[in-house]
Amino acid sequence: MRLNSPQINLITKACMKASRSLIRDFGEIENLQVSEKGPGDFVTSADKRTEKIIIDELQKANDQYGIISEEAGIINPSNTKNRWIIDPIDGTMNFLNGVPHFAISIGYEEESEIKCGVIFDPIKNEMFCAEKGQGAFLNNSRIRVSKKKKLENALLVTGGPKHDSKIKKQIFSEFINISDVSFSSVRKFGSAALDIAYVACGRFDGYWQREINYWDIAAGTIILKEAGGFIDFFEPDDKAPLKRNILASNSNIHDELKDLILKKNIE
């Protein structure tokens, strides 16, 4: 990897450290104490332990930066200039069920723009990372989005809807619109961070999802952009501060995919 800002070095180190305990916890999954946060949304003790290791490591280097982290919430709220955006385990339901497809995701935001990010899959030992202007990498190799031009040949991935989503019908009708065009059936792998990372390295050609959270995709946005991909947010309210509906793909199929998602939904 040829990235070397202090921030990318720090988040890479924090990821590696946290992943050691995460791998141990995954090996003992049946012993984990599981608590219910809400329907379909569980937090494990591993989640909290991983988050603590990451936050401790980042704060050892700088305790003034702001933090937005899924479980801990907002730390140092007055610093909105420099912030770490953390999802300690993205793919919690996979993790909980012993499915080896989840990741740690950490992004660094400066002046409201993500400058660098790391998504680490500790089971496959795959580290996706990128820094603005420096390219995107999977372990030591440069990555690029796919070159596929036709949506019908594209392999696409999505996620959701959440159990309590109020727009399930809309989400499923978008799924139908897209399934009608693409020959391969749409994938659902259960980790938004890895979905974007897989688009960035060309395994998938496009990813879309409604109702995501900032920590799910913060690191992914810079990795995808640096890999030559396009990111779009299709919000009903353009001025909404937090964008929740994302489309990430190679540049060739982006517009067609966007039109399909936004086309009038099937009743």
Question: In the complex, which residues of this chain contact Ca ion (CB under 5 A)?
Answer: 70, 87, 89-90, 216
- Near ligand IPD by CB under 6 A, which window of 4-12, 84-92, 135-143, 225-233? 84-92
* Exposure of 122 in the CB half-sphere (CA atoms within 13 A): 24
Pairing of strands 66-69, 73-75: antiparallel
Q: How far is the CB of 17 from ligand IPD (least distance, A)?
A: 19
Q: How far is the CB of 247 from ligand IPD (least distance, A)?
A: 14
Q: Does 69 bind ligand IPD (CB under 6 A)?
A: no
Given ligand IPD, Ca ion, none, residue 91, with its beta carbon under 5 to 8 Å by kind, binds ligand IPD
Q: Does 90 bind ligand IPD (CB under 6 A)?
A: yes
Q: How far is the CB of 92 from ligand IPD (least distance, A)?
A: 4
DSSP secondary structure of 207-258: EEESS--HHHHHHHHHHHHHTT-EEEE--SSTT-SS---EEEE-TTTHHHHH
Distances (CA, A) of 118 to 3, 210, 215: 11, 22, 12
| H or E stretch at 38 | strand 34-38
- Near ligand IPD by CB under 6 A, which window of 114-122, 166-174, 187-195, 257-265? 187-195
Rounded-to-integer distance, Cα 197 and Cα 204, Å: 9
Q: CB nearer to ligand IPD: give 212 or 231.
A: 212
Residues in region 246-265 near ligand IPD by CB under 6 A: none
Q: Is 185 helix (H, G, I), strand (E, B) or coil?
A: coil
Q: CB nearer to ligand IPD: give 216 or 226.
A: 216
Residues engaged in binding ligand IPD (CB under 6 A): 87, 89-92, 159-160, 190-192, 212, 216
